[in-house]
Structures are given as C-alpha cells and as structure tokens.
Amino acid sequence: MGYKLLSNEVNNLFEELKREYMIYAPKRFLKQGRYSDTDIIKYGEVNSFQEIVYKEKSTYPAKELITPINQTLYFFTEDEFRESKNPYGDKKILIFARPCDINAQKRQDKIYLENGGFEDAFYKRIREKVKFVCIECVEGFDTCFCTTMGSNKTDDYSLAVRFDENSALFNINDNEFDKYFTDCAKEEFELKFIEKNMAEVNLPEIESKEVLNKLKEHSVWKEYDKRCIQCGSCTV
C-alpha cells in the first residue's frame, strides 16, 4: 500500500520532516554549469516538491553529501589539536536518490568502513545519520548501464517515491516514517525498476590471475602514469 500526496501536501510533509531531517535531492543550480549560461544539476538541500529535478540526470552523484570533496577534519593550535564537529550538526539526513546511487553507496561503505579492518570515523559519523528515499527509475538515460552492473534494483531505502507533475506516490519501508503518513490518502504503489538500458555494456569475465597481472602491466597504464600529477581526482 502506498500514499498519494499532491505537491502542496509533499511540501507540508517536508516541513514536518525538516524538524528531524535535512532533506537533499537532485536540484538545479542556475548558471553554474560547465559552459557559459548553462545550468547544472547536483545534490543540494531542498525545501519543496518543486525544487526536485527527477526528469534529468544529475551531473554529480549523491556521494558528495557523505564524502564531500573538501571537509575540515581537525583544528590545530600551537600545542594541541581537536577534531571537527559533524558538518551536518545533530540532524539526520534524508537523501532522494536512484537505485544506482544507493548501490554505489554500498561500495563506499565497503571501503570506508570495512577496508583492512579499519573504520573511517569521519565517514561513519555522517553515514550513520543517512536514510534514503529511492526515486523510481524505469527508463534511465542514454548513458546509463545499471542493468549490466546489477545496480538497477535495491531494497536499501526507507521510503520509495514515484513523481508526477503535481503529485507523488510514497511507499514506506521503514516504520520510523509511519507517523508522517497517518492522514494521507492511500493508493496502490509498488516500486518498479528499469529492466533494460538504452546502452549495453559487455563485461569480460577474466578468471585467470595470470591474465589479470598481465593486464596490470599493459602499456596503456604507463601512458596514464606519465600524465598523472597525483591530484587524487580519480578516487573522487
């Protein structure tokens, strides 16, 4: 069972949620694109239904909220230092994201929380506050290949949403959010996922370690090594 909310009701829902959560979603930033007089779509804090861009692909991923490119970790004085506070304060974080971005976050969790038996405290303190609203995505875009990677489906979300021009359907996957929909109109809603992308990618299966080691020594990497200035951008 789902719940149908008109745009003004979604805005009222946001007002209720904002008492406990900071809400982030794909958002249009005017005149901030890569070229003159172009816009950019990236994740930012939203306060209304109308701000959410769900028909276009975001230029930057949701992970920027959890692992920002720039982040203050410590403050130093002459003879001591102290750890910075959580940049989001005491509030929890609610992120509207597509299944691919939610699955991508699992990869980050693996690296920052499990890699080598080490937990990154700065990552963990933000990640523990995050809950996802899964945006239904059944068509994708011409550059997507999530079905090949198996990242087109997820059940790791607190709410699911299907947007329409003047309304939205919500489904609850986390009992914590039941209280926000007690007076909302009920309507059947089952979250659907894309089954086939416009682009197809064929991934080779390489089971031989010998072949993998030879690929590591391929000359293509030497070309990249020559141009690398060790800025770290590729890891971001």
Query: Token pair 């794909």 is at which residue?
Result: 26
Write down the pLDDT at residue 82: 93
Nearest to 25 by CA among 36, 37, 39, 14: 14
Question: Residue 110, SS3?
Answer: helix
Question: What span, in angstroms and rounded, lies between the C-alpha atoms of 41 and 99?
Answer: 18
Q: At 204, is the pLDDT very low, low, confident or very high (cuts 50, 70, 90)?
A: confident
Mean pLDDT for the chain overall: 92
Q: Which residue ranges make up each domain of the chain?
A: 2-205
Report pTM.
0.87
Q: At 224, is the pLDDT very low, low, confident or very high (cuts 50, 70, 90)?
A: confident
Nearest to 130 by CA among 156, 93, 99: 93
pLDDT (mean) for 186-192: 94
Write down the pLDDT at residue 1: 77
Q: How far is CA 48 from the centre of its chain?
A: 19
Pair 95, 25: CB distance under 8 Å: yes
- Give the pLDDT confidence of 116-156 residue by residue, as tens digits: 889 999 999 999 999 999 999 999 899 999 999 999 999 99
Write down the pLDDT at residue 236: 67
pLDDT (mean) for 209-231: 88
One-letter amino acid at 11 equals: N
Question: What span, in angstroms and rounded, lies between the C-alpha atoms of 26 and 119?
Answer: 29
Angle 50-190-192 from CA coordinates, rounded to 5°: 80
Write down the pLDDT at residue 117: 86
pLDDT (mean) for 73-100: 93
